[in-house]
Structure 1
Amino acid sequence: MNWKNTFAPLRVKPTDALPDLMLTHLDNWGAITAVGADKKSYLQGQVTCDVVSLQSQQSTFGAHCDAKGKVWSVFRLFHHHDGYAMFQPVSAIEAELRELKKYAIFSKIELTHSQDVALGVMGNGADAYINSLSNSEGDVRAIEGGTAVRISAQRWLLLLNEDHAAQLVSQSEAVKADATLWTRFDIEEAIPVIERSEQSEHIPQAVNVQALGGISFSKGCYTGQETVARAKYRGINKRAMYIVRGDVNEPLSTDEAQQMERSVGDNWRSAGHLMAHYTFSDNSAIGLIVLPNNLEAGTELRLTAQPNTRWVIEALPYSLDDE
């Protein structure tokens, strides 16, 4: 059996306990790799995070913007082999790589769409499993075939060549769940997921990059910096990304955008679309959406295609301050 066909949906309710160790193939995720003598200085002048200060055992969020400060990509940056990897949704990579390469001809750097395989390790047993693959410590570890990166308390990313990924999956006794479970964790942890449809739509603060430590306000210039700085110091940003939860009549499709509306008195107005969503087995669902950051507490939302549903905004797991 092809190892890529061993992952199945794990249908659970919000309150169900999850298995201690789960493994998934993140087939909708990938990475851009950067190698070469100028990799550090080039990326430092392109992205919002501080590449120069990033230690080998650390990862950081970051964003790459256009000249107007709109986001091409939100990524997790870490050391990988002899360079850097920028982990992000596959659908964003084509445009992001094109934009990131614009000035690379003047520097000693090679930027490529990595062919490495992304696997996700989840559950209470994730740390112990990673320790079995590596004798080192830290949130980023070199392992056989690639790199292991801590995402959160119960989640690790593995970026591996395909041979080692196949071997690891075939030998693992973990529950093999499909990648929708990874999306659930991203939503619950309020991690922005910038797919192709979201590119060049938001400034970094509108998708909470500052709250995740992905913007350095003390580093040198980078593309879009003026807009990002004005959003902090002049308060021009009026939007933020929120977790929303509600009911559904049927599981939400990933093949089309899920539009939402918000209540305004007795009426409903467009609220945008879910940038990510996950449906539980009890016909409830969660999602991420960018909304005005001054909405009244208790504002109701609904799915445009399912107008009898009701959704609410939930508390974020972090502060939106960037201090």
Structure 2
Amino acid sequence: MEKHTHSDQKIFSLAHLAVISVSGTDSAKFLQGQLTCDIYQLNANSASLAAFCNAKGRVITTLLVVATPTAFLLILPKNLLDKVINKLQMYVLRSAVKISANHENLHLLGLNFPFPAPDDPFRQQMGDTAIFIKHPATALRSWCLVDRQADISELTENTLSDSVVWAGLDISVGMPWFDISQSELYTPQMLNIDGLGGISFSKGCYTGQEIVARTHYLGKPKRSLFIAESPFNDTAAAGMTVVEAATRQAVGNVLSVGTSAGLSRLLLVLQKDGTHSDQLLLDDSQNTAITIVSPA
């Protein structure tokens, strides 16, 4: 594995994420009936963002789906791991599918140096002991799955950067990760999963597909995702209400919170009626001012 020594090149331990392995002869068919992306379009060169929804079309979790020769690997927020495994198991029935947590067999790292493959979002590059997945935001970031039996001393000879920093960077570019408190509250379109290529509208049925398709073809989501920031606030939390400053009217909620460059970074799910163009506040004891950076 090539060694990187530039001072601005960093490696992040992604302790806030986990990996599920889905294997077996029916694994592709099974996931095709559960996730919003088209599993049959994935290969050794292409990963995908996806949503796993309930029957009402609300997102249980967002996932990064990676195809390997022996299994599909699902990267997701760690505190949703048990819930998602249990939900997936409910649909296995007689299918030849094995679902298990796989983080004990893999290192999950975030890399902040040039990606070793063409610069396409979610581009995948497989090596002998590692899989690299291109981050959609920048050519300098990628996820890396490494076999725990591999020697990764060249990558980890320096202290790994905090996963909180990587999470903040993900928020600042609109990656719609969220924790268990926000599970089953939003449709995929409210989280911009369609904008990130994570929904196929031409594949067959999957759990929640009717609601997701109806929103796409017959209407539009009433809320959408925005990237925001505020002065550092250690009390900001997912689920907090966002209000319009002048009227104190609720206009949305916080999806996730992180820290980057000394600021609190937030993903907000807001009403799509123009209210978000006004001054917004967190509905907390400090009335923390929020600045909208951009739509996600």
CA contact (8 A) 2:24 2:96 kept: yes
User: How does the TM-score come out when normalised to structure 2?
Assistant: 0.86
User: Whole-Å Cα distance in 2 between the matches of residues 233 and 33 of structure 1?
Assistant: 33
User: Whole-Å Cα distance in 2 between the matches of residues 171 and 214 of structure 1?
Assistant: 30
Structure 1 residues 36 and 195, CA, compared in 2 at 3 Å: closer, same or farther?
same
2:264 is aligned with 1:285: yes
CA contact (8 A) 1:252 1:278 kept: no
2:150 is aligned with 1:160: no
Match of 1:187, SS state, is: helix
Which residue of 2 is the match for residue 192 of structure 1? 176
Q: Runs of 5+ in structure 1 lacking a partner?
A: 1-17, 132-137, 318-323
Identity %: 25
2:216 is aligned with 1:240: no
Which residue of 1 is the match for residue 47 of structure 2? 59
Structure 1 residues 293 and 285, CA, compared in 2 at 3 Å: closer, same or farther?
same
Which residue of 2 is the match for residue 117 of structure 1? 107
- Match for residue 196 of structure 2 among 212, 217, 226: 212
2:52 is aligned with 1:46: no
1:266 CA drift (Å): 3.7
Structure 1 residues 171 and 225, CA, compared in 2 at 3 Å: closer, same or farther?
closer
1:76 CA drift (Å): 0.9
1:159 CA drift (Å): 1.4
2:295 is aligned with 1:313: no
Instruction: Count residues in correspondence.
Output: 283
Which residue of 2 is the match for residue 139 of structure 1? 123
Structure 1 residues 274 and 34, CA, compared in 2 at 3 Å: closer, same or farther?
closer
CA contact (8 A) 1:21 1:174 kept: no
2:22 is aligned with 1:34: yes
Match of 1:104, SS state, is: coil
User: Whole-Å Cα distance in 2 between the matches of residues 285 and 187 of structure 1?
Assistant: 10
Match of 1:126, SS state, is: coil
Q: Runs of 5+ in structure 2 lacking a partner?
A: 1-5
- Match for residue 179 of structure 1 among 163, 167, 179: 163
1:270 CA drift (Å): 6.4
Match of 1:181, SS state, is: helix
CA contact (8 A) 2:43 2:68 kept: no
User: Whole-Å Cα distance in 1 between the matches of residues 22 and 42 of structure 2?
Assistant: 14
CA contact (8 A) 1:60 1:78 kept: yes
2:259 is aligned with 1:275: no
Structure 1 residues 38 and 197, CA, compared in 2 at 3 Å: closer, same or farther?
same
CA contact (8 A) 2:251 2:271 kept: no
Match of 1:307, SS state, is: coil
Match of 2:195, SS state, is: helix
CA contact (8 A) 2:251 2:275 kept: no
Which residue of 1 is the match for residue 59 of structure 2? 71
